[in-house]
């Protein structure tokens, strides 16, 4: 069950300290990138964000390796991160490239028919991004827990989502709830000025004025809150995803008998 996997994720986070490394990295990356973007260093922020995204597969491999039980210590974490890095990176790059290519192909006919470019792009991103994310969500866990190759990990993720649509949807619901709670924690002090502002005056404000009223979201204590919330949420969600895949994919598939046949001498050959 989804809730059983969530309980296991809480237990693993509590008894495996190295799992917090991934959440700490993602939190620090998010806070630093947002700090630079708001501070006007958009070019530097974009470069750091890109390099950070390229480094995330290392931390995914390390966390999943620790949950798999290869070695819960820091050495095992680093070893797993290096071992699975390129497979996760390449599979993720293929998925992103395929998604953008599909968005481009979907946009062509709508643009030719005279549709708004901005509206067409938004609808295409949603129409392509949601199913792509749904069916390829477990590609990285397939790499680590089942030792899948690059393309095979994507195929395995699609197969798992098709066989377990309720469980896959369930993890999205739980992730959404946790994400809303984290966002509420982060924005709670920022929304207070909006609640105290006259509603008539608030309706006449521009988006820039509303943002200025809320205050810079990442300067001072805001950056610390951002890092802290992503630290907790990222660590928990990665563990939850890994525990669900490990519980429902490996246990069920490992019970299937291997396919093969005996030769004339009674020797078994597996297909």
229 occurs within a structural domain:
yes
Q: Do the domain assignments include residue 260?
A: no
Among residues 5, 59, 75, the alpha carbon closest in space to that of 27 is found at 59
Give the whole-number percent of the chain exceeding pLDDT 90: 15
In a domain, 203, yes or no: yes
Number of domains within the chain: 1
Q: Where are the alpha helices (DSSP H) in 113-249?
A: 117-135, 139-145, 150-163, 165-196, 199-203, 207-214, 221-245
Q: DSSP letter at 259? A: P
The answer to whether residue 146 sits within a structural domain is yes
Please give the structure tokens belonging to residue 61: 């491999």
Q: What is the pTM of this model?
A: 0.76
Average pLDDT over residues 89-109: 88
In a domain, 259, yes or no: no
163 is a domain residue: yes
What is residue 199's predicted lDDT score, i.e. its pLDDT?
Answer: 63
Question: What's the pLDDT at 91?
Answer: 93
Q: Could you list the residue range(s) of the whole structural domain that residue 177 is in?
A: 2-249
Residue 164 domain flag: yes
CB 29 within 8 A of CB 52: yes
At a CB cut-off of 8 Å and minimum separation 6, what does 237 contact? Answer: 175, 178
Contact 234, 18 (CB under 8 A): no
CA 109/CA 112 separation, integer angstroms: 5
What does the pLDDT average to over 188-197? 59
Q: What is the pLDDT of residues 5-36, one digit of tens each?
A: 778 888 888 888 899 999 899 888 887 877 77
pLDDT tens per residue across span 35-53:
777 666 777 878 888 888 8
**Domain assignment present for 267:** no
**C-alpha span between 240 and 244 (Å, rounded):** 6
Which residues sit opposite 261 in a β-bridge? 269
User: For the chain, how big is the Rg over CA atoms in Å?
Assistant: 22
- Tell me which range, 122-131, 132-141, 169-178, 190-199, is most confidently predicted by mean pLDDT: 132-141
User: Residue 256: which pLDDT band, with cuts at 50, 70 and 90?
Assistant: very low
């Amino acid at each position: 069950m989804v809730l059983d996997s969530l309980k296991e994720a809480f237990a693993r986070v509590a008894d495996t300290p190295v799992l917090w490394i991934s959440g700490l990295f993602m939190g620090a990356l998010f806070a630093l990138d947002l700090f630079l973007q708001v501070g006007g260093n958009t070019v530097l922020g974009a470069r750091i964000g890109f390099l950070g995204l390229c480094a995330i597969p290392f931390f995914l491999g390390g966390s999943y390796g620790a949950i798999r039980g290869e070695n819960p210590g820091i050495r095992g974490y680093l070893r797993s991160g290096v071992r699975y890095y390129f497979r996760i990176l390449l599979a993720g790059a293929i998925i992103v490239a395929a998604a953008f290519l599909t968005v481009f192909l979907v946009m062509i006919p709508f643009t030719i028919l005279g549709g708004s470019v901005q509206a067409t792009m938004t609808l295409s991103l949603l129409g392509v991004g949601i199913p792509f994310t749904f069916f390829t969500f477990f590609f990285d866990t397939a790499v680590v827990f089942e030792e899948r190759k690059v393309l095979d990990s994507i195929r395995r993720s699609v197969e798992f989502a098709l066989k377990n649509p309720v469980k896959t949807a369930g993890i999205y619901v739980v992730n959404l709830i946790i994400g809303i709670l984290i966002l509420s924690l982060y924005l709670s002090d920022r929304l207070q000025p909006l609640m105290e502002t006259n509603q008539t005056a608030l309706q006449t404000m521009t988006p820039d004025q509303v943002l200025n009223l809320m205050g810079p979201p990442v300067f001072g204590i805001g950056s610390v809150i951002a890092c802290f919330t992503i630290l907790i949420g990222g660590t928990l969600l990665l563990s939850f995803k890994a525990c669900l895949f490990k519980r429902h994919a490996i246990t069920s598939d490992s019970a299937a008998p291997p396919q093969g046949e005996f030769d004339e001498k009674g020797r078994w050959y597996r297909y």
